[in-house]
Amino acid sequence: MSKRAWWKEAVAYQIYPKSFYDSNGDGVGDLPGIIAKLDVLKTLGVDVLWLTPVYASPEVDNGYDISDYQAINPRFGTMTDFEHLLAEAHRRGLKVIMDLVVNHTSDQHPWFVESRQSRDNPYRDYYIWRDGKEGREPNNWGGHFTQSAWSFDAATGQYYLHIFSPQQPDLNWENPVVRQEVRRIIEWWLDKGIDGFRLDAINLIAKAPGLPDNRGEGRYIFSIEHFCNQPRFHDYMQELNRAVFARHDMLTVGECADLKVEDAIAVSAPERGELNMAFLFEHTDYYNMVGKDAQKLKEILTRWQQGLHGRGWAGIAFNNHDQPRVVSCFGDDSHYRVESAKLFATLLLTLEGTPFLFQGEEIGMTNAVYATIEEYNDVQTVNLYREWVAAGEDPQAAFEAVRATSRDRGRSPYHWSAAPNAGFTTGRPWIGVNPNYIDINLEANLADPDSIFHYYRKMIALRKATPALIYGEFIPQEAPTQLYVYQRVHADQRYQIVLNLSDETVEYVCAGRRLIGNYPETEKQRLQPYEAGVFALE
Ligand code: GLC
């Protein structure tokens, strides 16, 4: 069993503030709005709130483009509001972690504004500037949000690197002064009393020495192997850990793309002194981009559960602000929405790893779909659409394609009630509210003892009261393909989790005493579509 820690026993809840609750009618969620809703989060039973960025930002990428790390975006409120939120959360026993976005800054950050002025100024080396090669970009790396990861800056005649949008220039972590600035920002927030960080895109901070071309085919190639999980990434984490993290009782979770089990161990094994945990994405990437095969999902999750046990630690989520809602893309949000939402609650809260809920999942919110490109806000969606249309693609075909992967699917405003705009705002929401809020909302969930919300609440309570569900060994069981059956075993406690990942009725005899389940009762011989249950084996 891994050593006990509060951040392993905690259940976290991700707030996307812009879409959470708008207290002043400007159409945008805000910090006083979060304060107003803390009690219901406490009722749900979560212990840690992760706020996606609320810092000063031109909001090209909804706050993941920071122009001042020590200021609050006025759209969200003031620093006093933030301090108030922190105090109110702490008073209720809720911890607060912030998003630390230090792979890049906004192009409006004073460092970049200075950096681009001339080739020789103290801020030039804060970013990654290079000469072009034969009239083209310095190398053929493709970006996340643009075809090329480089933009030319005419003022000084060089290109700068941006893995994300051109308004998000990458910081140069090779420069020790940059690393010192990052430490200073982290300490400043810790001094304010926050309880940790989610480190954005953190395993992209170290680029391959010499920034080599990708040898694959094509003009621009998304070159993850040249800027992801580089050895220097681990050096930088160890340096930060020695200087700051190890001196605080805090939670650190890395958003790490393209991880293999060994990479996740490297970043989270306690003896390596880097981060507490890394988020896992292989399963979300699978159902987001590849398919809906139960066997494959089981294979991915089982490999991670067995690989990390006793060696590292993970943050587990099935939804976040970059992903579609799992109930819509792996569950069934038309016929079995309630059942499949509860099934994913059961899965999330019975795996090893710190569970992270994403706002709205606890009431069964579904993917948002908008009718025109103008209704989309996601920089990735909008940039790709523009690039494809400029390259001659049919606009409707381009729209269908970007809509199918848009990150706005999970970013629509929270459904508080059946009041206009789901009770999210009295103004005009910054992005469309999903019209199904009339049926799917918190008020209705609270009033119904069998709701998804109350199921999450009970599942969270069960996890917290059951060490085996937190620390126990994960032992997969033989079962028909549609079913995912595993045990969590710790000391003399043994629990069996049974999940029907399909919309079929499947023959199966469940052993043990049912502690919780998403149907009124589990029948002796068979499981209903998307049925889920936790059984104690005595
Ligand atoms: C992370 C964030 C995402 C953002 C990107 C760039 O992946 O989760 O929303 O666009 O980093 O900061």
CB 140 within 8 A of CB 220: yes
Supply the range of the domain harboring residue 132.
110-161
Mean pLDDT throughout 169-175? 98
In a domain, 241, yes or no: yes
pLDDT attached to residue 206? 98
Q: In what order do the strands lie in the sheet with 150-153?
A: 129-130, 158-161, 150-153
Instruction: Look at residue 251 in the predicted model and tell me its pLDDT.
Output: 98
In a domain, residue 479? The reply is: yes
Which residue's C-alpha comes closest to atom 6 of ligand 1?
64
**Domain assignment of residue 170, yes or no:** no
The pLDDT of residue 289 is 84
Same domain, 124 and 205: no
152 with 278, same domain: the answer is no
Using only C-alpha atoms, the chain has a radius of gyration, in whole angstroms, of 23
Q: Are residues 279 and 427 in the same domain?
A: yes
Distance CA(205)–CA(329), nearest Å, equals 31
Output the domain CATH number for residue 133.
3.90.400.10
Nearest ligand 1 atom to alpha carbon 322: 9
Domain holding 512: CATH number? 2.60.40.1180
Instruction: Name which residue sits closest to atom 9 of ligand 1, judged by CA.
Output: 322
Please check whether residues 213 and 321 belong to one and the same domain: yes
pLDDT band at 538 (very low <50, low <70, confident <90, very high): confident
pLDDT in tens, 183-229: 999 999 999 999 999 999 999 999 999 999 999 888 999 989 999 99
Residues 269 and 120 in one domain: no
Q: What is the dihedral of CA 389, 393, 399, 401, to 10 degrees?
A: -130
Instruction: Give the whole-angstrom CA distance, residue 515 versus residue 301.
Output: 23
* Residue 467 maps to a domain: no
Q: Whose CA is nearest to atom 4 of ligand 1?
A: 64
Domain count, the chain: 3
- What's the mean pLDDT in 310-331? 97
Q: Which residues line ligand 1 (CB under 6 A)?
A: 61, 64, 101, 164, 200-201, 255, 321-322
Residues 241 and 137 both lie in one domain = no
423 and 478 in a single domain? The answer is: no
Cα of 469 from ligand 1 centre, angstroms: 30
Q: Which of 70-74, 143-147, 325-329, 398-402 has the lowest mean pLDDT?
A: 143-147
Q: Identify whether 465 is part of a domain.
A: no
Rounded distance between C-alpha atoms, residue 65 and residue 109, angstroms: 9
Q: Does 300 share its domain with 378?
A: yes
How far apart (Å, rounded) are the C-alpha atoms in residues 275 and 246?
9
Closest by CA to 153, choosing from 121, 109, 111, 107, is 107
pLDDT for 198 equals: 98
Are residues 150 and 184 both part of a single domain? Answer: no
Average pLDDT over residues 170-194: 98
Task: Identify the three-state secondary structure at position 77.
Answer: coil
How far apart are the C-alpha atoms of 244 and 225, rounded to whole Å?
29
Give yes or no: residues 193 and 292 share one domain: yes
What local confidence, expressed as pLDDT, does residue 499 receive? 98
> What number is the average pLDDT over the span 19-38?
98
pLDDT recorded at residue 291:
86
Q: Is the alpha carbon torsion for 120, 121, 122, 126 positive or negative?
A: negative
Q: Has residue 44 got a pLDDT over 90?
A: yes
Same structural domain, 504 and 435: no
Tell me, yes or no, whether 169 lies in a domain: no
State the chain's maximal CA–CA distance in angstroms.
Answer: 75
In sequence order, what E strands does 441-530 have?
Answer: 473-476, 483-490, 493-500, 506-507, 513-517, 526-527
Query: Hey, which of 61, 106, 253, 259 would you mutate to test ligand 1's pocket, going by the most ligand atoms within 8 Å of its Cβ?
Result: 61
pLDDT at 36 over 90: yes
Write out pLDDT tens, residues 268-281. 999 999 999 999 99
Q: Which atom of ligand 1 is nearest to the CA of 163?
A: 6
Q: Which residues contact 502 (CB under 8 A, 6 or more apart)?
A: 294, 482, 529, 530
Distance 383 CA to ligand 1 centre (A): 15
Segment 417-434 mean pLDDT: 98
Q: How far is the CA of 281 from the centre of ligand 1 (A)?
A: 13
Residues 93 and 25 in one domain: yes
Taking alpha carbons only, the member of 75, 52, 23, 13 closest to residue 319 is 13
The residues carrying an active-site annotation are 200, 255
| CATH code, domain carrying 390 | 3.20.20.80
Give me ligand 1 centre to Cα 109, in Å. 17
Is the pLDDT at 473 greater than 80, yes or no?
A: yes
The predicted model gives 152-171 an average pLDDT of 98
347: in domain: yes
Answer whether residue 468 is part of any domain.
no
Question: How much of the chain exceeds pLDDT 70, in percent?
Answer: 100
CA of 362 to the centre of ligand 1 (A): 23
Question: Average per-residue pLDDT in the chain?
Answer: 97
**pLDDT of the residue at 524:** 83
